[in-house]
């Protein structure tokens, strides 16, 4: 079984170099497809350098097409039996490809969700390899000792020779914070212990997600009207077509964060309208209640909180007696809380 790793990348050349280095040391070889989604930095030079040691296919967009458009473009040229989606700021554990391939050996109806971790300190750095500060973080790094700055960095040498140290530095969840970690743990718990739950599509992740290539293409790929939660919408469609999402234990990725905070799905809410038009399900609208229930700043009455995927499933059946429309109006008001 051949795996194609499809990487979406835009203006993150320093991180992309490290991502490609991690793919060059996989225990199981894979086809690598990089979609340069309209980068204006030195991504082209990074790809030229990496192609000397890592065979890859490159798709270059003159203008950005977004996460979904870039992923679909990479999938169309990929040749593997399985597509494994990765972002250009994410390191791959040496066993990543092998673990996904082994999971898909069970059949074409699998959606694989790997273990997603992050490297918190990299958010201060424009380039983790050089330790160059991100704009606005110059004073912070100037106040650190050389040893402290070194601890924030990630070098190609670390990836090649000291990957165990990268793993020890990492923390579960794609983003820093108690909320993202709690959400990650709830998603993985549901996948591992509630395999019959009907809303497991909500546990799909945007990076470190694998799917049968023919299934992906037949389904039309990611919805290009979505650039947030496109992975959950795809997983929902595939699950409605008898696919099942499963955890891929040991298939770890490490997000080299590079921003403060994250794209908040309770603030950037266009995704919900697009997704609900395609899937007019109560569970889609209740995603906002689930995520807001995990926030330490929530104002949701205890009886209306949704704090796990099995609870989301129960609420979506409509038998709780809670007026979730009123709860959602509160969450999405101008005083909306931050997402978990």
Inform me whether the pLDDT recorded for 319 exceeds 80: no
Listed range (119-128, 190-199, 254-263, 319-328) with the worst mean pLDDT: 254-263
Residue 260 confidence (pLDDT): 59
Q: For 51-71, write each residue's pLDDT tens digit.
A: 999 999 999 999 999 999 999
Listed range (14-18, 76-80, 186-190, 291-295) with the worst mean pLDDT: 291-295
Per-residue pLDDT, averaged over 93-111, amounts to 97
What's the burial of 34, exposed, middle or buried (CB within 10 Å: 0-12/13-18/19+)? buried
Mean pLDDT of the chain: 92
Per-residue pLDDT, averaged over 65-78, amounts to 97
Please give the residue that has the higher pLDDT: either 172 or 333. 172
Please give the residue that has the higher pLDDT: either 19 or 327. 19
Split at pLDDT 50, 70, 90, the class of 332 is confident
Residue 174 confidence (pLDDT): 94
Please give the residue that has the higher pLDDT: either 137 or 231. 231
Cα–Cα dist 125/14, whole Å:
10
What's the burial of 139, exposed, middle or buried (CB within 10 Å: 0-12/13-18/19+)? exposed
Separation of CA 340 from chain center:
15
Q: For 176-217, write each residue's pLDDT tens digit.
A: 988 899 999 999 999 999 999 999 999 999 999 999 999 999
Residue 167 confidence (pLDDT): 97
Split at pLDDT 50, 70, 90, the class of 336 is very low
Residues in the chain, total? 340
Rg (CA), the chain: 20
Listed range (101-105, 147-151, 191-195, 262-266) with the worst mean pLDDT: 262-266
Per-residue pLDDT, averaged over 116-135, amounts to 93
Split at pLDDT 50, 70, 90, the class of 331 is confident
Is there a contact between 271 and 265 (Cβ–Cβ < 8 Å)?
yes
Inform me whether the pLDDT recorded for 134 exceeds 60: yes
Alpha carbon of 273 to those of 167, 238, 262, 284: distances in Å? 38, 20, 20, 10
Cα–Cα dist 118/3, whole Å:
23
Residue 330 confidence (pLDDT): 77
pTM for the full predicted model: 0.94
Inform me whether the pLDDT recorded for 78 exceeds 80: yes
Residue 263 confidence (pLDDT): 61
Inform me whether the pLDDT recorded for 19 exceeds 70: yes
Residue 1 confidence (pLDDT): 87
Please give the residue that has the higher pLDDT: either 281 or 338. 281
Q: For 235-284, write each residue's pLDDT tens digit.
A: 999 999 999 999 999 999 999 998 655 566 767 778 999 999 999 999 99
Inform me whether the pLDDT recorded for 334 exceeds 50: no
**What domains are defined for the chain?**
3-120+172-256 (3.90.550.10), 270-331 (no CATH)
């Amino acid at each position: 079984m051949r795996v194609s790793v499809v990487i979406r990348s835009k203006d993150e050349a320093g991180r992309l170099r490290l991502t490609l280095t991690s793919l060059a040391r996989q225990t199981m070889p894979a086809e690598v497809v990089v979609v340069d989604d309209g980068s204006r930095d030195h991504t082209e030079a990074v790809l030229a350098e990496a192609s000397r040691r890592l065979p890859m296919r490159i798709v270059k967009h003159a203008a950005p097409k977004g996460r979904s458009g870039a992923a679909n473009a990479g999938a169309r040229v990929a040749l593997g039996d399985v597509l494994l989606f990765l972002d250009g700021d994410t390191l791959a554990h040496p066993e990543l490809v092998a673990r996904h391939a082994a999971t898909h050996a069970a059949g074409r109806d699998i959606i694989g969700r790997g273990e997603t971790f992050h490297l918190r300190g990299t958010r201060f750095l424009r380039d983790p390899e050089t330790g160059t500060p991100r704009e606005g973080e110059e004073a912070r790094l100037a106040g650190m000792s050389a040893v402290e700055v070194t601890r924030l960095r990630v070098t190609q040498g670390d990836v090649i020779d000291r990957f165990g140290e990268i793993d020890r530095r990492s923390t579960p969840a794609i983003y820093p914070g108690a909320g993202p970690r709690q959400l990650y743990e709830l998603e993985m718990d549901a996948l591992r212990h509630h395999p019959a739950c009907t809303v497991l599509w909500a546990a799909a992740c945007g990076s470190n997600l694998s799917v049968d290539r023919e299934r992906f293409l037949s389904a039309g790929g990611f919805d290009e009207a979505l650039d947030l939660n496109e992975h959950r919408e795809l997983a929902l469609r595939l699950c409605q077509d008898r696919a099942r999402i499963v955890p891929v234990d040991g298939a770890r990725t490490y997000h080299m964060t590079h921003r403060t905070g994250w794209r908040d799905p309770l603030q950037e809410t266009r995704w919900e309208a697009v997704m609900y038009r395609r899937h007019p399900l109560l569970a889609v609208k209740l995603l906002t209640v689930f995520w807001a229930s995990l926030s330490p700043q929530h104002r949701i009455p205890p009886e209306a909180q949704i704090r796990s995927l099995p609870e989301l499933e129960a609420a979506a059946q409509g038998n709780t007696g809670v007026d979730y429309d009123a709860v959602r109006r509160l969450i999405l008001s101008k005083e909306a809380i931050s997402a978990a």
